[in-house]
Chain A
């Protein structure tokens, strides 16, 4: 029984080039690992037949790039042509897209092989992946724990080494928070860096697609593939295309880092704060200046998120009406009944809750009282981040307040999911890039993550910083304990 998927991508690339490994062997190994551990529930839909066909088609072709033939998992709110895309919702459980999202086209161009569509919170609404219509995925470090969310399936698929890479999406922490809970590197790129075309919209002004991986270098490799301006997305940036690995390996001595006091408040568990303090000491030892700062308005981020994300979501989800695609009741007598029953049956509780709150927030005068005001404060918060970046290269803090908690815990508390994301949401509000780097474990041996926030479009430097730290920490990050 081969274990190629425990090797690094660079090692695999060499083996592929030498013909010692074929894409088919990697794909078959990925499915073997998935099928061996169905409890993890990382995938909603597997792409087995097509993936094998694709792997066979790659045989004999020149290995023309470092990700050639590498298995990848794609979160199930990103459209894949002819491959079911459900958003983990009953309302789309029969939905077969007619086109590929831009990021998916890019994966295919580079001959990565899509293994399947990963589990998630329904329409990415949640922080535990428990709102999935297909049941929650489980944390590979401890199957009684949540993976976090909403990109919980992507996190679980990489953490359990079923695939080396996965795409997640992040509207309010949904890449970084599960990456933290599952001991992965997760990057939410600058808003506009990666095209949103083909991503089922949740909070359009916040949504970002990003890579999830076992280490920093491989994360940068995947961002290299998916980034870039796209004519299909007017909000995608014309910012220069770059090689995100280019600074990796360079020293970080002399860099200046800010640690906001807000990120070290009492909502953060002592063991995590302790780990952050250790990391700060390590950074100082490495010649990095770390200073405590205050960033105005970040304490408002969750409130802003609730207003903006839910307002936008209530509008974005209006199209699921049973008229053109997706779930539809077939015995409705009139159109209003069709709408009501389709949406009643199709959406889960959390999605309904957010649509209702969002609709209320945009209703009549409320739009001025809440939405417009939120947009203003959002702008102010963005400016205070910019001010901080005038003095510092990065802002750091813990990614989460706690480590992954029990699957059974707090299932009835709708506010809990926002508290899980209190430290990561400000980054979405400001459109900045944010990265989770594993920095250690709790006493229960659950992963703890460092949140690194960069200036807009400064991902390459973030990778340099994270990678340097990663090397110093040299953690064993395979839950199977074999690495």
Chain B
């Protein structure tokens, strides 16, 4: 029998709040060291925690997004240990009543859906950040007290791919729900992975790989750790509970420390924070504030015929996806997504802009798509006028005019063009008579091409139908 891999993941995410969890200190990344600190953040004698209600509600939102049951009566607990980055000598966390329990995240690997169980999600405070040199250690307390959620999965993943898919999915959810900015490189999302292998149903002894720096590294670290454990077992050895880290250069996990039997954090209820009650009304109102999540958006794209590639691209480009949330029901999302992910995205990237900072309104986009559908606007002309659509308040007609594409309203000359095009495209004429609507659009496009986009589309449409039904 082969070895079965089992993976559980613990993720710490900093919540996107203005202030810290238990003080009015500013929650800001990248500020001058030790500038965002209050007496509370320093664990000053006599200080007591206050509660950041906004952080609680964000954590509640996370618990709801992860399909958790909510602990409506919550306590905080103290986790006691000594470390210079821990100002009070204890961390305020939730050991007994985590805000959410028994949740799940749905992932897809090789086209197969799978639910990854969430054991719990709890609220805690971040520690200070230490920097060590050969002769000294420096402490930056800006991070001390920043609100964190820790999300702990069940040991439900069985491959590096599932683990990566889970982290990817979790990140996407937390980003979309505006809970955290999930920047692994800045440490606002930190990932610890527990890995074990076993030949039997009984789980093997696990090792913990701490603080892996990227999603791809998570996959690699698990792969390497699984290899390492199998080698140990095959050589007749045993795995002991230990903490390891992943060395990306060496492409292997490295032992940090062996875990002592049962870490003794002397947990007890935080006496400075009374029981916190989350009412049904609060939960309902938080539910209402949750933005439309990726799965729901994907479903909609799929229904509207948007390709999977475009669908994923939209999800990755949150701005554009949000922009589409305001689209009227009848909008052709296939064409709209092509426009947004093509010329628009290129423009935005080039100019480092967000869609909301351009002049492209939903009304304008809807107009463009409608004209493309009618054939009264060709993609060639659209390309030509695109920058102006994004940069000016002018209507499509005005933009076309400004580009020297003068509108031909002369019935006689247009009639000649119509006749010429019909002569040259007998097949389409036949198709039209056979009831194929598409043929009309094609012919329309040909006429527009012939007039370099200058023909009055309404007039052309009228003349064309007249000519065809003669």
Q: State the A residues within 8 Å of B (CB).
A: 78-79, 85, 87, 92, 95, 97-99, 101, 196-201, 204-205, 231-235, 311-312, 314-315, 317-321, 323-325, 335, 339, 359, 362-364, 367, 371, 375
The answer on a CB contact under 8 Å between B90 and A234 is no
Per-residue CB contact flags for chain B residues 261-278 toward chain A (1 = under 8 Å, else 0) read 010101111011110000
From A95, A235, A359, A367, B45 is in contact (CB under 8 Å) with A95
Report the nearest A residue to B47, measured CB to CB. A197
Can you report 28 A-B residue pairs in the complex whose CB atoms are below 8 A from each other? A78-B46, A79-B45, A87-B45, A199-B46, A200-B45, A200-B46, A201-B45, A205-B271, A231-B50, A235-B272, A315-B78, A315-B89, A315-B90, A319-B43, A319-B45, A319-B88, A321-B82, A321-B84, A324-B42, A324-B44, A362-B266, A362-B267, A362-B268, A363-B264, A363-B266, A364-B262, A364-B264, A375-B269
A235 to B274, CA, bound (A): 6
Per-residue CB contact flags for chain B residues 79-122 toward chain A (1 = under 8 Å, else 0) read 01010100111100000000000000000000000000000000
The answer on a CB contact under 8 Å between A335 and B46 is no
> Which A-B residue pairs are the 5 nearest by beta carbons?
A318-B89, A362-B266, A205-B271, A204-B271, A198-B46
Residue B292, interface by CB 8 Å: no
A367 to B45, CA, bound (A): 25
Contact flag A335-B84 (CB < 8 Å), given A205-B271, A364-B264: yes
Residue B39, interface by CB 8 Å: yes
The answer on a CB contact under 8 Å between A318 and B90 is yes
Contact flag A232-B80 (CB < 8 Å), given A205-B271, A319-B43: no
A235 to B90, CA, bound (A): 19
Per-residue CB contact flags for chain B residues 17-49 toward chain A (1 = under 8 Å, else 0) read 000000000000000000000010011111111
Residue B416, interface by CB 8 Å: no
From B42, B43, B49, B137, A335 is in contact (CB under 8 Å) with B137
Complex interface: chain B residues within 8 A of A364 (CB) = 262, 264
Residue B51, interface by CB 8 Å: yes
Complex interface: chain A residues within 8 A of B84 (CB) = 321, 323, 335
B: number of interface residues (CB 8 Å): 31
Q: State the B residues within 8 Å of A (CB).
A: 39, 42-51, 78, 80, 82, 84, 87-90, 137, 139, 262, 264, 266-269, 271-274
The answer on a CB contact under 8 Å between B80 and A98 is no
Complex interface: chain A residues within 8 A of B49 (CB) = 234
Report the nearest B residue to A236, measured CB to CB. B48
The answer on a CB contact under 8 Å between B45 and A92 is yes
A87 to B42, CA, bound (A): 19
Complex interface: chain A residues within 8 A of B273 (CB) = 234-235
The answer on a CB contact under 8 Å between B46 and A197 is yes
A201 to B269, CA, bound (A): 15
The answer on a CB contact under 8 Å between B268 and A234 is no
Q: Interface centre among B42, B264, B268, by most A CB within 10 Å?
A: B268
Complex interface: chain A residues within 8 A of B269 (CB) = 375
What is the minimal beta-carbon distance from A231 to any residue of chain B, in angstroms?
7
Complex interface: chain A residues within 8 A of B50 (CB) = 231-232, 234
The answer on a CB contact under 8 Å between A324 and B43 is yes
Contact flag A197-B48 (CB < 8 Å), given A99-B39, A324-B43: yes
What is the minimal beta-carbon distance from B429 to any residue of chain A, in angstroms?
80
Complex interface: chain B residues within 8 A of A367 (CB) = 266-268
What is the minimal beta-carbon distance from A52 to any residue of chain B, in angstroms?
26
What is the minimal beta-carbon distance from A201 to any residue of chain B, in angstroms?
7
Complex interface: chain B residues within 8 A of A362 (CB) = 80, 266-268
Complex interface: chain A residues within 8 A of B48 (CB) = 196-197, 201, 232-235
The answer on a CB contact under 8 Å between A325 and B44 is yes
What is the minimal beta-carbon distance from B34 to any residue of chain A, in angstroms?
11
A235 to B271, CA, bound (A): 8
A335 to B86, CA, bound (A): 13
Complex interface: chain A residues within 8 A of B44 (CB) = 98-99, 324-325
A85 to B45, CA, bound (A): 10
A168 to B272, CA, bound (A): 20
The answer on a CB contact under 8 Å between A234 and B51 is yes
Complex interface: chain B residues within 8 A of A312 (CB) = 268, 271
Complex interface: chain A residues within 8 A of B78 (CB) = 315
Contact flag A321-B89 (CB < 8 Å), given A95-B45, A101-B46, A231-B50: yes
The answer on a CB contact under 8 Å between B39 and A98 is yes
